[in-house]
Amino acid sequence: MDLSEASKRISQKFASQSVEVDPAFIEKKLRTLVEEFGVNLAEAEKTVTENIAKEHGLESVPRQTSEQREIGSLLPGEWATVEGKIVGLAKPFSPSISQTGIIADATGAIQFTAWARANAPLVEEGQSYRIESAVVDDYRGVPKLNFHAGTTITLLEENVAALPQVVKVSDLRPGVASMRVKMVQEWEARHERILQTGLVGDESGTVKFTIWKDDDATELEVGKVYNIFYASVSEFQGRLDITLNGARCFPDEEGDIEVGVGGAQYRGAIVSIGPGSGVIKRCPVEGCNRVLSRMNYCPVHEMQSDFRYDLRIKGVLDDGEKAHNILMQREVVEAVTGLSLDDAIEIAQNSPMGMDDVFYRLRDTMVGRYFICAGNDLGDTILVKECSPITYDRDRHAELLNRLGGEDNVE
């Protein structure tokens, strides 16, 4: 008996008719009927649904639809019946999940999760199924198809056509995507469950990838081009990354790609480097990665002694017309300042000024100097992916002096 799942299911039924009902409110009503009056869950769910429908003046009770939908048209909050092909399976990382993977048709693909308590029959990769009465949910903006106790799964005799649509890195969105990319960097894995992490990219830009340890997982090779089908794309703190577990990765032995930085270019002077720049400590809890306070306190997971160090710059770049907030991650900071994370940690641990020493060194290196920064605009901040100093240009200098009516006396 899972009152939480039932309450969420009822809430989603009403959400499909633009009626918002708090799942906690629904669960309270269900609990009263089930625990105090001994009503079975199915009957309690029906009663609560009908009562809420009356309270909101609905002429009919929202019900799941048996109308078949295209996978590419599914939206969070909907009930769905689809026919698709299982194009990837991944090892569940939680005992509460019996199976997870990707189902696709000719219009798109979506991740699915079969919860253990649903007792749904297991599906096989390469086979096609009709999935009736599943629920479309989302996690961090990624739509997912959930199989619950009421979901019906039927094996189809004929395979459903599943045609992956290859997109550029710059066009990636949370969900499932296929792409042709080149592996350009491998990073140090900072979690024992990670098999490999780094950057892949194409002409339009780069994106972080992660491969979790799995019996079927294989590593990518730096410099090699891959055709990747059905990778999972997620977004966290404005940054996209892809997970390759469950995806198909086919190396193109003779292919090559000129990987671009992506995003727009911003040319100007760094006028400020703010607090939170320099060496920072991050929360080690999986999926958190928040910056810790100087007392190693995470606002979510409290005190953390097994933190990890990171390096970044939060600053302002002024192009003469507008001031842009910028954020540089470790790789960019190391490249543009020449200060590695290891060196910064050593300074922070041995200098009498501690972490402040690193902050002042970065400030003295960057502030007041001109740079060209390339990156993506996240709304109020530019995530800088590449940054290089602007060197002296005699012709440009002379042009500016002429506009002011002066003379170029620089030899």
Identify the bridge partners of residue 152 per DSSP, sorted by sequence position.
Answer: 132
pLDDT of residue 310: 92
Q: Directed axis angle between helix 355-366 and helix 330-337, to 10°?
A: 60
| pLDDT tens track, the chain, 411 positions | 567 777 877 787 777 666 788 888 888 888 888 888 777 776 777 788 888 888 887 766 655 555 788 898 887 767 788 999 999 888 887 888 899 999 999 888 999 999 887 788 899 999 999 998 888 877 766 788 988 777 889 999 988 988 888 999 988 888 899 999 999 888 777 778 889 988 899 988 888 899 998 877 889 998 999 999 999 998 776 678 899 988 889 999 888 898 876 677 889 999 999 988 999 999 888 767 788 888 888 877 888 888 889 999 999 999 888 899 999 989 899 999 999 999 999 999 999 999 999 999 999 999 999 999 988 776 577 888 889 998 877 887 788 788 887 665 554
How far is 379 from 377, CA to CA, in rounded Å? 6
Q: Note the maximum CA span of the chain.
A: 93
pTM of the model: 0.57
- Is the separation of the CB atoms in 83 and 160 below 8 Å? yes
pLDDT of residue 230: 93
Q: Which fold has domain 169-252?
A: OB fold (Dihydrolipoamide Acetyltransferase, E2P) (2.40.50)
| Counts of helices then strands in the chain (DSSP H, E) | 8, 20
- Domain at 69-155, CATH homologous superfamily: Nucleic acid-binding proteins (2.40.50.140)
Q: Directed axis angle between helix 355-366 and helix 341-350, to 10°?
A: 130
At 2, the amino acid letter reads D
The CATH class that applies to domain 265-394 reads mainly beta
Q: Do domains 69-155 and 169-252 have the same CATH topology?
A: yes
DSSP code, position 353? T
In the chain, where the domains are located: 3-56, 69-155, 169-252, 265-394
